[in-house]
Amino acid sequence: MRKKRIMVIGPSRSGKTTLVNALNDYNGPLRRTPDLIYGKNTIDVPGSYIENAWMYKHVIAAAQDASHILVLVDQSSCTEIYSPGFAKSFRCPVIGVITKCDLMPENKGRCLRQLKNIGILEPYFQVSFKVGTGIDALKKYLFEKGKE
pLDDT at 146 > cutoff 60: no
**pLDDT of the residue at 133:** 93
Give the list of residues 6+ apart from residue 111 with CB closer than 8 angstroms, or none: 73, 75, 78, 98
Give tens-digit pLDDT for 26-74: 888 777 767 899 999 999 999 999 988 889 899 999 999 999 999 999 9
Sorted by where each starts, the structural domains of the chain and their CATH numbers stand as 5-147 (3.40.50.300)
- Average pLDDT of the chain to the nearest whole number: 90
pLDDT at 148 > cutoff 60: no
Contact 16, 69 (CB under 8 A): no
Compare 147 and 89 and report the one with higher pLDDT.
Answer: 89
Give the global pTM.
0.92
